[in-house]
Structure formats: C-alpha cells, structure tokens
Chain A
C-alpha cells in the first residue's frame, strides 16, 4: 500500500532532519533543518486525515514560530559567522536527500487519487467537522486558550520592555 510506504519515508526524513537539527553548532542551520522536519510532519498529518492540522503546522510552526526564532537569532547576532560562504559539496548531501524524499512523498500523495480521500474508507476530517467540534464541545477551552495567549502577549511585553526601573524612580 502506497500510504504506508510514504509514511515510513516521511518518518525517516523527519528523524534525519531532527537529528541534523540538534547536532548543528549554528542556530540558524538548526532552525532551517527544523523547518524541514516540520514540512515532513505536515505531510504525515495530511496522511493521517488531518488536512487542517497540516496547514496549521505549516502556517504556525514553520511560518510564525520558526521565523520568530530566526528573528531573535539575527537580532541578537547569535549566528556564529566569520566563515566565508563557500560552496561545500558535503553540505549538499543531506539537503539533497531530504528534499528529494519530501518531493517524492508529495508527488506520491498527489498521484494517489485525491478524490478517494473523502469518500473512501480512509479517515478524513473536513474543516467543517473540525470547527463544529472545536467551537461546540470545546468552546470553554477555546476561551481559556485565548486568555492564555493574551497573558503571553502581556508577559512578553513586560519582559521585553527594557531595563526595570528602580523603586524610587517611578515618579514620572
């Protein structure tokens, strides 16, 4: 069956990208390899009948969270630069392997007759069912999570506001 083959390929690619990520010395390389791992994870989520979660994995994790990491790394100038930007042959080997596996899995998923996903025996959650469950059964949890996001925004603002002033200087 083609789905299981795609799953094992994607799992191997995810584990390889994660292993490369946690062994890099440069934080920028680590973040980029982790983004690649998230691409493969999104394909796995799609394979498990969760297209909405797959899209959010791309948008939120790869698009927002990892770019925030990159922003902080570059803002604090943490990238261990100094080495000239030479084209290293050995560096291309894992990149090419991972990209080819991801591309092959994507093509296999597209070839696999997408019309059979919704009506076939495979499990598939449409965004409508997802939204119904999310805002009906878990409405209170949605409220709590939105409060949590608000508190996080306020906390991040408070921590990042700058140097904390001394007790006596609060007159202004």
Chain B
C-alpha cells in the first residue's frame, strides 16, 4: 500500500459527501443523477483501496458488479427522465409533487 488506508477512506468520504450534497442541493434531475454517479464512484474508490490494503481481488470484483449496477440504474433513470420530460415538460424535481393513483 503506497499511502495510509485512512487517507484513501477520507478521500472516498469527501467524494461521497460531494455527491450527497449534489443530490440534496441541486433540483435538476440530470444533476441529481450525476450526484448519484459521484457517490457510486466514491464507493468504488473505497473498494479498490480495500482490495489493495488486504491484498484480495474481491474488492475489484465488486467494483465490476458496481459498474454493472450503475449501468442498469443509468439506463432506467435516463428513460424515466425522458418520460417525465415528455409528460410534464420540465426536469425540475420540485414540479413532480403530485401523486395520482
């Protein structure tokens, strides 16, 4: 390990909090999805760092599963973005405040 494991975890935590702040602060659906991407990448940093720290391949394998999950999530959520835009004509998250069963 070239750097202390704590520094890697701190880096991943800062990245995660940035993504969380983006999700909570921005009201554009695209920016919210970008914040989710940042959080998932922070998790990937922690996994790869742990894989290098304990010298096990399993962490890197889970990064691959994380990437597959991200691809599925992005496909579904961008289809939802296109659907919502077509239906309401906007992407501001505050406008989607009604439930109609």
Question: Interface on A for B, CB 8 Å cutoff?
Answer: 1, 3-4, 7-8, 11, 14-15, 18-19, 21-22, 27, 30-31, 34, 37-38, 41, 44-45, 47-50, 52-53, 56-57, 60-61, 64-65, 68-69, 72-73, 75-76, 78, 122-123, 125, 129-130, 133-134, 137-138, 141, 145-146, 148-149, 151-153, 155-157, 159-160, 163
Contacts and interface: CB of A to CB of B under 8 A. Distances in A.
Given A15-B18, A152-B72, A133 B58 contact: yes
A53 B48 contact: yes
Interface of B: 1-3, 7, 11, 14-15, 18-19, 21-22, 25-26, 28, 30-31, 33-35, 37-38, 41, 44-45, 48-49, 51-52, 55, 57-58, 60-61, 63-65, 67-76, 78-83, 85-86, 91
B71 A31 contact: no
A94 B75 CA distance: 31
Contact of B61 (A1, A21, A138, A146): A138
A72 B82 contact: yes
Nearest to B2: A3
A7 B10 CA distance: 13
A8 B30 contact: no
Given A138-B61, A159-B79, A18 B68 contact: no
A123 B75 contact: no
B29 to A, nearest CB: 9
B34 A31 contact: yes
Nearest to B74: A65
B33 A123 contact: no
A59 to B, nearest CB: 9
A21 B39 CA distance: 13
Contacts of A76: 81-82, 85, 91
Contacts of A123: 1, 52, 55
Contacts of B60: 50, 52-53, 125, 130
Contact of B52 (A15, A21, A48, A159): A48
5 contacts: A15-B11, A22-B21, A44-B45, A156-B75, A163-B86
B61 A22 contact: no
